[in-house]
Amino acid sequence: MPAPSVFLTFLGKYEKQRSFQLLTNMVPKLNTYRFARGICAVALLSLFLTSCSSGPSGPTEDLTEVLIVAFGNSITKGVGDTRRPPGYPYQLEQLLKPLHPNAIVVNRGVGGEETPEGVRRIDSVLNRDHPDYVLILEGINDVGSRTPSATIINNLGMMIRKIKRSGDVPLIASLLPVTRPGYSNTRILTVNSGIRALAEEEEVQFVDLHAAFMTDVDFTLLLSDDGLHPNSLGYNLLAEEWFEGLLDIL
């Protein structure tokens, strides 16, 4: 279970936390790839922490290890990203490091996984990793195999409840838009509506990756050639959206 205010305990006072939230809200909404906003937020945070120093030695960093598990399918694994290591988990970890030097994001993506397999697998991940936070991005393969939307949502709900019972904090994201034949964007919108409702019902943080992709220029520029997985730019955007989602619940 994560320690209270685990990412910002070194700020010390509620007023400083409120000031930081106001500061991050000042970051402009860019019309290009919004990964730059995450970089701006980190830079502003560094300046803010320096200004908050109350002594000659500056603020004390919280060295508690924070473990975040990225749980999902091949999109979490990073297929389509030409960098090494691939995918959003490593990029998210780099965004978090200035806030918490010992933040670790573990990539537990498995290619081809559908939600029933995710329900079965998540127990072993929780028992092995003992995470503080779990980021769930599952369901696109179920859409491709024409699994009923209600079944997808039910399976995602089981994952959330298993994470809660383990004492960890789940976050869940919407599915990305695609261009690959055989995957219906209409079905994706239906599933995403169900995911949003599930997040509200379970009172967990909802990260709208679909909306982020649809907001930034032409979303096809964020996809790899297969029309299903993001490219490097797309994974950068995923990392930033998860980053902002984590900040919202601290």
Domain carrying residue 124: 64-248
Residue 77 lies in a domain: yes
pLDDT at position 63 is 65
Residue 172 lies in a domain: yes
| Mean pLDDT, residues 119-144 | 98
Residue 215 lies in a domain: yes
Residue 58 lies in a domain: no
Residue 148 lies in a domain: yes
Q: Quote the number of domains for the chain.
A: 1
Residue-wise pLDDT for 195-217, tens only, equals 999 999 999 999 999 999 998 67
**pLDDT band of 250, cuts 50, 70, 90:** low
Residue 237 is part of a domain; what is its CATH number? Answer: 3.40.50.1110
pLDDT at position 10 is 31
Residue-wise pLDDT for 45-84, tens only, equals 444 334 343 333 433 455 678 999 999 999 999 999 999 9
Backbone angles phi, psi at 115, to 5 degrees: -60, -35
| Mean pLDDT, residues 108-135 | 98
Q: Which residue has the higher pLDDT, 195 or 12?
A: 195
Residue 98 lies in a domain: yes
Q: Which residue has the higher pLDDT, 27 or 120?
A: 120
pLDDT at position 61 is 54
**pLDDT band of 1, cuts 50, 70, 90:** low
Characterise 235 by phi-psi region: left (phi > 0), alpha (psi -120 to 50), beta (else).
alpha
Residue 52 lies in a domain: no
The pTM of this model reads: 0.78
Residue 15 lies in a domain: no
Residue-wise pLDDT for 155-192, tens only, equals 999 999 999 999 999 999 999 999 999 999 999 999 99
pLDDT at position 214 is 95
Q: Flag the least confident range among 10-24, 81-95, 189-203, 221-235.
A: 10-24
**pLDDT band of 134, cuts 50, 70, 90:** very high
